[in-house]
Each structure stands twice: as C-alpha cells, then as structure tokens.
Amino acid sequence: MRSSRRIFATALAVVLATGLAGCKEKRDPGFQGWVEADMIYVSPDEAGRVSKLEVREGDVVKVGDPLYSVDDDLQLADLNQTKATLANAQQVFDRADSLRKTGSGTQAALDSAVSDLRVAQARVVTSQTRLARRKGFAPVAGTIQQIYFREGEMVAAQRPVLSIMPPGNMKLRFFVPETELPKLSVGDEVRVACDNCAADLTAKIYFIATSAEYTPPVIYSLDERNKLVYLVQARPSRPDALRVGQPIDVYLNPKTPVADKR
C-alpha cells in the first residue's frame, strides 16, 4: 500500500511540474497585418475607346505581351497628314537644293527648306509613336490583377485600363510597438501565418518606419488601441501562397510557441 501511494505521489508531482512549466512557457502572440502589393497600372497616352482586350483577370503575362487596343482613327489620320506634309517638304528641299547647285537659288532658301524638312520628319515620327501607343503591352511580367475598362468603353488619357501584379511587388505590412523595435532589423526573417495557409511561410523585413503612428483601424485588438506603433514591411518568400488583402499574423521568433487566439 505504501509503495502504491509513493508511486501515485511521484506521478502527481511530475504532472504538476509539467503543468507549471507549461504555464511559465512564454508564448508568442504575434503581430497582426495584411498583404498588399505595388501594382503596375497600364494606361493609354490619349483618350479613346477600348477596341480589344487581349487578357483576362488572372492571366499571367510576360514582358511585351499584348494587353489591349484603343481605337486609332484620329492618330491614323494625323499620321497621314504629317506624311503629306513631309512629302511637300521633301519636294521643296529637292527644288531648293537643285536651284542652289545651278546657282539660281540662294543659300537662305536651301537652309529654310532643310529646316522645314527636318520638322516634317520629326512630326511623322511623333505621329507614328502616337499610333503605336494605341496598343498596350505588358511592361513587366506578372498576373493581371484587375481590368477597369472593357471593350467598347471610353477611357480617359492616362487612366489605367488594367493593373498587373509582379510577384516581387507583393509585401506584408504589420505594426509593432516601440518595445519590440530592438528585436527587429532589416533583413531579418519572420514567420507568417494565416487561415488555411502552409505552415512554412516566411518573409524578409526590408523596411522599418522611423516615425511612430497610432494603431491603424484595420487591427481590431482592444489591447492595441491608443498605442503608438511602427510600420514594418516584409517580402514573402512564397508570394504565390498569399492573396492581396489577406489578413496575416507575423511572428518574430519561429521557434517560440504561438499563442492561442481563440
């Protein structure tokens, strides 16, 4: 009987010691944040009607891939006009040059013809550029994030027809209190967690704000209100595993147990 009591007492002591150790173990509450991206917006130089869309939202494009076309009637008419002006300027130059060689013309007339010819040539190049820019091509590789104007719709000058998200432009934004700043440095790797995400997501810090601000309203924790915090931004190691606008939790020490947020 004494032996059984001794064994029971020993087991109870082990359980209590384990429980106390678990209670003392520091758990990482993490920092709340979200996913953002620096979009690339593609727009026409001049107003017009979208005549053709070559892509859909979610399509992956490479540099130089066609994206859209805007009606080019006015630009084509302008090019024809400048070409006609160039033809006339060429005739005037040829005549002035011929007269100058025979001694019947003056150097001043030839100089004027040369000047007019160069201006006409430059205007043709400008018209050709305006016409070529009625077609939009991908300036970067990435995914078509959003299309703002569809076929048949009028788009104003320098208003984006669509946006592209390059994978390298995705970033994580989160805020940390002043007491945690000494633990952070540019280049540090942090652990990232989100609902139903992979367990091995990480990111590398590339920006730490030098000035404080109030806790942003997107963070709803009552404990974080009315505190000055610092913005931190990081690049995810696997941007394809995240989505823009997705809420995340960031943990500075990957080995620290995660606190239960329920």
pLDDT tens by residue, the chain, 262 residues: 444 455 444 444 444 444 444 444 455 668 989 999 999 999 999 999 999 999 999 999 999 999 999 999 999 999 999 999 999 999 999 999 999 888 888 889 999 999 999 999 999 999 999 999 999 999 999 999 999 999 999 999 999 999 999 988 999 999 988 888 888 999 999 999 988 888 889 999 999 998 877 655 555 555 554 567 889 999 999 988 888 889 999 998 765 544 444 4
Superfamily of domain 28-37+167-251: Efflux pump adaptor protein, beta barrel domain (2.40.30.170)
Model pLDDT, residue 63: 97
The pLDDT of residue 198: 82
User: Where in the chain are the domains?
Assistant: 28-37+167-251, 40-72+133-165, 73-132
Instruction: Output the pLDDT for position 180.
Output: 86
Class of domain 73-132: mainly alpha
CATH no., domain 40-72+133-165: 2.40.50.100
**What's the whole-model pTM score?**
0.71
Following DSSP, what letter does each residue of the chain receive, concatenated?
Answer: -HHHHHHHHHHHHHHHHHHHHHHHS--B--EEEEEEE--EEE--SS-EEEEEE---TT-EE-TT-EEEEE--HHHHHHHHHHHHHHHHHHHHHHHHHHHHHHTSS-HHHHHHHHHHHHHHHHHHHHHHHHHHTTEEE-SS-EEEEEE---TT-EE-TT--SEEEE-GGGEEEEEEEEGGGGGG--TT-EEEEE-TT--TT-EEEEEEE-SS-EEPPTT---GGGTT-EEEEEEEEES-GGG--TT-EEEEES-TTSPBPP--
